[in-house]
Structure 1
């Protein structure tokens, strides 16, 4: 294997000219990727990771002032014009984007998008290009490739769409692939498959990969070397074992300390989860069924005969992959989706039988935290009004009492009182999620439904929000249904765990019973696929997962180079 770098950043410096002055996004960065090597560029949002990667494709906007040099193969990107850049993209460097639905054209069939890339770069044309497109889909593990090639992106699952994007990146045999958060939007089992595919890709085709991520488990699973970015600079650089197991820089240490570790249980974020001391039920779900009507077809059953409960002062984790029915249950518990049958008793009252004022009165006792704070906060209201809105809706208190309550809640969620008159867009993602939590607690709810409340946050922000959440649960004593696909987060918070698949409960029990001694095949698959931020332990877990899949009759995902060699 030649050691000559396929991608180099030499003293890369990027500044953006904005209406508020110059923003120094990348400060004198030096980094290289060699053939057959995975280099992980890690750091939080705003650290400059994606700006660095975009430089390699010559895609930065016109207000960017670029210093230093970016070299792909033997080509200096900063010296090329538009036509020359188009030759470099695809042929020498390709990109796998974070969200495949934004990277794929929704009105063009999958196969045509693959042939377009090949025809633009003169790799293949007509029937030959189509045949190669089908071979590429087979190579990345998509079944029934001939049929899938004729489908539109929306007809594929998230994991399949990401495989299509990887196939597009491979279509012109590039020397280096830049993978920008390639698994963030994927379920844990699909993520494990995609990582297996990328690993197979670099081993068999000797392709260099620059992996951009904030997920330390993914880094432990994939990376040969790791570069940690902070405020536009690389603050630490070394092998995966050096950086993840023996970090030197305070920022790297802080980043790793904030990563939840599956198996470490409660108290990972400094606050111990209190034991439940009562048998009084805050939520009781019995034989719950939710169906969606479809014109001319049999109704789709999204939730099928589900039964579980949540006691006062208890956190129950509801886990499963996308489409398992988790969020549907959460919305139904708020009365936002009608139930087909079954019983939901919230604080002793059957939610499915209440209407009008009775339902509104019960809703006062239920708080909700949504997944995306940017979408769930009214952008036209200042933060004080956002948090006070539940009191206004339910006609509680006067203006002075509401303001005092908002100040009290801002203190509780560790936000400055000066945030009272600021708008949501003026806050960071973590601060907006704290506002969502404050709003959910405005009316002192007895039951809180939290739907993926930390999935959109950086790891250190997630840790501070989870620590605060634990403190608040201890202080206010609310029952909580915590919906998540992150098993490590559930491990750090929950007293009991309910696992769902295809609308049904496949396993439930205490945190220890489900996460440490799973009985059901599906739960074992989920646990085996969850990465941990220790490269040595993760290598063992990966081997154990492959053995588990083989024992269950499943194939381990690998790149099939036979399809590419034809």
Structure 2
């Protein structure tokens, strides 16, 4: 059950802001990023700071750790363990970092130095702050790796960041953050880049460390499931101001502000799940005689050639996707989801088996023939900023497939771009603007428009909403649904967000280590899973309701416990 924050009289805060205001001097005007916010984080408490991109969450946290750029103007107070860090001299602030306040960043590979061993990176702050040297520092580093759940810490401490998985790298970043026993940890989107199962492990770790070390945590996120799982209190930011604060139960179950209500309404919800395995599935859908198969895989094997050694990424996979349907492929990183999408796009050869688009086996095609087939396939990538050419105006970005496949005149291409801008609900006036002039959600709409330029029979969507805020994600998903029903293309939707797949897809394939462990209708597989791995995935997917999330966490604990006993 959620707890209310203790009064200021009962104990000191780990971190607090008093009327904090931050503005930035830009070439054209002054931008007010944070507008007089006041907030407290107590020892042993998790306060979630939520809101969309641009709301001021990260600027607030960066002010507390003294990392704002030189064009920032700061007023008000930010207390770290009783010391006001606003205006504090850089040499004093440097001494406070790691010992009083530490940060866990969103992307572990950018937070870790790729050319230094994990040992060097963990002992660096210990030596810098005079807490331990030499063998003593190494022993402390091994102890930290053990604390955050890295197996064989004595051996692995000598390795480099690239030799660890994404979840293990994030654990190392957390180990670095707690190395000097800080009073407060700022966790800035600590699980965004992680699978649901790895995310659940990181949240378990943060909860355990918070209780063990009595550290205050300021959690910055836009994932309401993570908030329900970890937070005690919630503060909602909108346009630089705090619009609502309260316990996690109050804010998520009884929101008062319209913006909070809108934010929560945008979160895709995973329907009730029966993880007991006692459910009897409904009879299969009758097979339509006139159904048109757009994509088919039979005993598909896909391999990567790694310096002469073959690594089998997909093994004996079979599925069917018909016109007008959406097939979701879910699983953890390394399960083979994106590898299947790459093979369909012709970016990876088929080792054996059949991968057919409209009855044509891609493995048997010559380059010229495969080019014609690829004109029937549209693709939406994960990161809209990286998939649009920054030097092309929007009109040229959208019509690029027409240019590549030599379709239409210049006038016809412009007309097609305008039609597609209408379809994705963007004004035609953006046709001459550049990608950097649009928001993340608008850029992803442009990517959807580009994918539909040649009226594809098949659309490949590889994690198309994972880089977006919840409300923008909701708008993009609604658009994919609307366009799919209008144009009736088949869609292969790759994702690790089970709630999104539940919302969009008709059928789903659950992959683990390159194999399909379970597949069928979404209503069967995601609501009444039969395989233990699917149950584990579903139990790890956080939901934005604290009590239900606590039940899921317990269900996941029981599943993992049963699995450990079997092994």
Matched with 1:269 is none
What is the CA distance between 1:364 and its match in structure 2?
A: 1.4
3-state SS, counterpart of residue 197 of structure 2:
helix
Tell me, yes or no, if the aligned pair for 1:429 and 1:457 is still in contact at 8 Å. yes
What is the CA distance between 1:284 and its match in structure 2?
A: 0.6
Q: Distance in 2 between matches of 1:376 and 1:435?
A: 10
What is the CA distance between 1:395 and its match in structure 2?
A: 2.0
**Aligned: 1:334 with 2:334:** no
Of the candidates 264, 281, 295, which is equivalent to residue 283 of structure 1? 295
Of the candidates 498, 507, 510, which is equivalent to residue 496 of structure 1? 507
Q: What does the per-residue CA deviation read over 1:235-287, in whole Å, with 9 as the maximum and x for residues that have no partner?
A: 0000000000011111100000000011179xxxxxxxxx9975321101111
3-state SS, counterpart of residue 519 of structure 1:
coil
Matched with 1:176 is 184
What is the CA distance between 1:554 and its match in structure 2?
A: 7.2
More deviation, 80-89/482-491: 80-89
Please give the root-mean-square deviation of Cα atoms over the aligned residues, in Å: 1.5
Q: Distance in 2 between matches of 1:399 and 1:300?
A: 45
What is the CA distance between 1:19 and its match in structure 2?
A: 1.1
Of the candidates 204, 218, 232, which is equivalent to residue 210 of structure 1? 218
What is the CA distance between 1:373 and its match in structure 2?
A: 1.2
Tell me, yes or no, if the aligned pair for 1:264 and 1:491 is still in contact at 8 Å. no
Matched with 1:401 is 412
Q: Distance in 1 between matches of 2:393 and 2:272?
A: 39
Residue correspondence of structure 1 range 48-63 to structure 2 within 5 A:
48-63=56-71
Any runs of at least 4 consecutive aligned residues in structure 1 with deviations exceeding 4 A, and if so which?
A: 275-278
Of the candidates 9, 13, 26, which is equivalent to residue 17 of structure 2? 9
Of the candidates 317, 320, 324, which is equivalent to residue 306 of structure 1? 317
3-state SS, counterpart of residue 256 of structure 1:
helix
Q: What does the per-residue CA deviation read over 1:83-115, in whole Å, with 9 as the maximum and x for residues that have no partner?
A: 111111111111111111111111111011111
Q: What does the per-residue CA deviation read over 1:104-151, in whole Å, with 9 as the maximum and x for residues that have no partner?
A: 111111011111111111111111110010001001111100111110
Quickly say closer, same or farther: Cα 1:255–1:309, change in 2 above 3 A.
same
Of the candidates 200, 210, 213, which is equivalent to residue 192 of structure 1? 200
3-state SS, counterpart of residue 323 of structure 1:
coil
Matched with 2:282 is none
Matched with 1:247 is 255
Q: Distance in 2 between matches of 1:140 and 1:71?
A: 28
**Aligned: 1:487 with 2:520:** no
Matched with 2:448 is 437
Q: Distance in 1 between matches of 2:385 and 2:306?
A: 31
Matched with 2:400 is 389
Structure 2 length normalisation: TM-score?
0.94
3-state SS, counterpart of residue 117 of structure 1:
helix
What is the CA distance between 1:453 and its match in structure 2?
A: 0.6
Q: Distance in 1 between matches of 2:561 and 2:181?
A: 31
Q: Distance in 1 between matches of 2:132 and 2:448?
A: 54
Of the candidates 119, 138, 145, which is equivalent to residue 153 of structure 2? 145
**Aligned: 1:508 with 2:486:** no
Matched with 1:70 is 78
More deviation, 255-264/353-362: 353-362
Q: Distance in 1 between matches of 2:434 and 2:412?
A: 21
Tell me, yes or no, if the aligned pair for 2:13 and 2:82 is still in contact at 8 Å. no
**Aligned: 1:366 with 2:374:** no
Tell me, yes or no, if the aligned pair for 2:49 and 2:234 is still in contact at 8 Å. yes
Q: How many residues align?
A: 545
Q: What does the per-residue CA deviation read over 1:422-481, in whole Å, with 9 as the maximum and x for residues that have no partner?
A: 111111111111011001111111111111111111000000000011000000000110
Tell me, yes or no, if the aligned pair for 2:272 and 2:527 is still in contact at 8 Å. no
3-state SS, counterpart of residue 124 of structure 1:
coil
Unaligned runs of 5+ in 2: 1-5, 274-285
Tell me, yes or no, if the aligned pair for 2:327 and 2:506 is still in contact at 8 Å. yes
Matched with 1:18 is 26
What is the CA distance between 1:294 and its match in structure 2?
A: 2.6
**Aligned: 1:31 with 2:48:** no
3-state SS, counterpart of residue 98 of structure 2:
helix
Q: Distance in 2 between matches of 1:60 and 1:212?
A: 17
3-state SS, counterpart of residue 143 of structure 1:
coil
Tell me, yes or no, if the aligned pair for 1:264 and 1:492 is still in contact at 8 Å. no
Q: Distance in 1 between matches of 2:134 and 2:112?
A: 21
